[in-house]
């Protein structure tokens, strides 16, 4: 084990100070919670949300109609969902 002399301690402290001075600053972690509510008062985002809900409901209705008609059941092009 190294002898802990004042000189050796001074050298170690100096090496640590140099290492800390040259160390790049840490980047802050990205946190998804910072964006919660950022579009709360946006009319545009309300329109986007409403359109997405309409599209999802149309997809659900198309899937339900395919499931209720066993004769026509099979692969279907989902892009043919009527837009309202």
What residue segments make up the domains of the chain, in order of their start? 37-84
pLDDT band at 26 (very low <50, low <70, confident <90, very high): confident
Sign of torsion over alpha carbons 25, 31, 37, 43: positive
Per DSSP, the three-state class of 49 is: helix
Helix %, strand %, coil % of the chain (to 5)? 65, 0, 35
* pLDDT at position 3: 80
Residue 50 has pLDDT above 80, yes or no: yes
* pTM (2 d.p.): 0.41
37: left (phi over 0), alpha (psi -120 to 50) or beta: left
Residues in CB range of 82: below 8 A, 6 or more apart: 58
The pLDDT tens digits of the residues spanning 61-84 come to 999 888 776 555 555 555 555 555
Residue 24 pLDDT grade (very low, low, confident, very high; cuts 50, 70, 90): confident
């Amino acid at each position: 084990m190294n002898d802990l002399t004042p000189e050796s301690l001074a050298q170690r402290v100096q090496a640590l100070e140099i290492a800390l001075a040259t160390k790049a600053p840490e980047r802050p972690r990205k946190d998804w919670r910072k964006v919660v509510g950022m579009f709360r008062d946006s009319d545009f985002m309300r329109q986007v949300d409403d359109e997405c809900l309409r599209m999802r409901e149309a997809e659900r209705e198309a899937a339900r109609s395919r499931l209720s008609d066993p004769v026509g059941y099979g692969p279907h092009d989902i892009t043919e969902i009527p837009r309202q």
